[in-house]
């Protein structure tokens, strides 16, 4: 019984939208991750997925009605005892009722009594999401500290396509875990109201239509930075190059290929950003010429020497041409030897506010789920982040960014 009580307690609210079937996968991720989940579906949600399914997947009784088991006062107890409340899908109707403080069913009553982090994952048709009434209701909830992620863009019901799709369950689960990890922080949503830009992945510079110069970046560190910023309340634009990762729930995703494309996208997004974190591994060189067709192997001769030219120095340009004086620019330095010496030299040359210096190599840094680093500051500070999940390093980066904002200095 003691082990059961130590498991994080999650209330999964399910509103009446077709995306309710995806909440089944989210529920399974929670239970397999060791969480204790009580599902609270609305009456409309039960028309899409039945009570027996929720009970079987959660291993817990399903709460559907304020009049069921009135002696337990479930509409108060469930919210009070939860470590996290997730509403997925959150329909336009549910968002409207929550924003206006309605308590006309069990789920809205639970939302009024919850003292823990609350995450809404909207899913609805594009016209409903973009309607001023829905946007006003979302703004109201966000102002109260509720994390309402923007829906994904893609195929909706029928032939419709656009913003309104429920983010992927795996990304919602990752975001929920980040919220749980931050629940005891003094200011769990310390980035609320901030706009941040994060770059991720590795650019490619093509020699011909099939060959390119690139690197082994998986994009995981950049995506962890985006996800943790979202969990802490920021509005996030993620500029991503060549990754095989699900889109972080709630981020505005801009996909690019080359260093030149990365430069254009990052500089455009940075115009109104409070912080820019360049975690992408941008190729340092590109072929001087790009062949229009595949270069053929000539068995009788060696290939001609490959001439390279430098790519754009995006980080230096960002730091030198900030859109505002209080904008914070964070760079990354991936080094193989003399890590700190190279890092300090790069920081002096780039003139960034923070530089995350990490050693890379075979099974280290790139393509790994873990990372370690030293974060150098323009004030001469050096913060060591021990080997651990890339989310831990991401949080430490945002801690230092937030400290600079509070101090009123870069």
pLDDT digits (tens, 9 = 90+) for 98-138: 999 999 999 999 999 999 999 999 999 999 999 999 999 99
Distances (CA, A) of 165 to 25, 128, 161, 181, 251: 15, 12, 8, 26, 13
Q: Residues spanned by CATH 3.40.50.1950 within the chain?
A: 2-182
| Euclidean distance between CA atoms 111 and 101, whole angstroms | 9
Question: At 25, is the secondary structure helix, strand, or coil?
Answer: helix
Q: Which two tokens stand for residue 312?
A: 């754009």
Q: Determine how many CB atoms are found less than 10 A away from the CB of residue 134.
A: 20
User: Rounded to 5 degrees, what are φ and ψ at 371?
Assistant: -160, 160
Q: Residues spanned by CATH 3.40.50.10300 within the chain?
A: 195-407
Q: Which two tokens stand for residue 379?
A: 């004030």
User: 26-40, 54-68, 389-403: which range is least confident on average?
Assistant: 54-68
Q: Comparing C-alpha atoms, which of 309, 331, 336 is closest to residue 205?
A: 309
| Euclidean distance between CA atoms 190 and 274, whole angstroms | 13
Q: Is the pLDDT of residue 8 over 80?
A: yes
| Euclidean distance between CA atoms 31 and 361, whole angstroms | 36
| Euclidean distance between CA atoms 255 and 266, whole angstroms | 11
Instruction: Name the DSSP letter for residue 390.
Output: H
pLDDT digits (tens, 9 = 90+) for 218-248: 999 999 999 999 999 999 999 999 998 988 8
| CB 87 within 8 Å of CB 13 | yes
Q: List residues with catalytic annotation.
A: 215
Domain 195-407, CATH homologous superfamily name and number: CoaB-like (3.40.50.10300)
Does the 2-182 domain belong in CATH 3.40.50.1950?
A: yes
| Euclidean distance between CA atoms 365 and 372, whole angstroms | 8
Q: What is the pTM of this model?
A: 0.87
């Amino acid at each position: 019984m003691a082990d059961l009580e130590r498991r994080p307690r999650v209330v999964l609210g399910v509103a009446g939208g077709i995306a309710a079937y995806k909440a089944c996968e989210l529920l399974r991720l929670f239970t397999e991750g060791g969480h204790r989940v009580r599902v609270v579906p609305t009456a409309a949600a039960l028309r899409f997925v039945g009570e027996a399914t929720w009970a079987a997947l959660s291993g817990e009784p399903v709460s559907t009605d304020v009049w069921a088991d009135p002696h337990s006062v479930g509409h108060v107890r469930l919210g009070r005892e939860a470590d996290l409340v997730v509403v997925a899908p959150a329909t336009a109707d549910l968002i409207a009722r929550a924003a206006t403080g309605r308590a006309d069913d069990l789920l809205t009553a639970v939302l009024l009594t919850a003292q823990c982090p609350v995450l809404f994952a909207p899913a609805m048709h594009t016209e409903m999401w973009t309607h001023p009434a829905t946007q006003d209701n979302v703004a109201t909830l966000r102002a109260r500290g509720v994390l309402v992620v923007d829906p994904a863009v893609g195929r909706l019901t029928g032939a419709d396509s656009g913003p309104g799709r429920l983010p992927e369950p795996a990304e919602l689960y990752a975001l929920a875990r980040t919220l749980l990890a931050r629940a005891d922080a003094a200011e769990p949503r310390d980035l609320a109201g901030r706009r941040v830009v994060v770059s991720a992945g590795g650019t490619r510079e093509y020699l011909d239509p099939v060959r390119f110069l690139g690197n082994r970046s998986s994009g995981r560190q950049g995506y962890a930075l985006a996800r943790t910023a979202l969990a802490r309340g920021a509005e996030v634009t993620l500029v991503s190059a060549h990754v095989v990762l699900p889109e972080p729930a709630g981020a505005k995703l801009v996909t690019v290929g080359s260093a030149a494309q990365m430069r254009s996208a990052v500089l455009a997004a940075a115009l109104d950003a409070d912080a820019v974190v360049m975690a992408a591994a941008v190729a340092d060189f590109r072929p001087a010429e790009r062949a229009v067709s595949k270069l053929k192997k000539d068995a009788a001769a060696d290939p001609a020497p490959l001439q390279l030219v430098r790519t754009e120095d995006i980080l230096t340009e960002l730091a030198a041409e900030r859109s505002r004086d209080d904008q914070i620019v964070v760079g990354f330095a991936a080094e193989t030897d003399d890590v700190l010496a190279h890092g300090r030299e790069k920081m002096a040359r780039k003139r960034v506010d923070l530089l995350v210096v990490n050693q890379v190599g075979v099974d280290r840094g790139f393509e790994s789920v873990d990372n370690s680093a030293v974060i150098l500051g323009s004030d001469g500070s050096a913060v060591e982040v021990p080997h651990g999940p890339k989310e831990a390093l991401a949080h430490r980066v945002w801690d230092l960014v937030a400290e600079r904002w509070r101090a009123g200095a870069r």
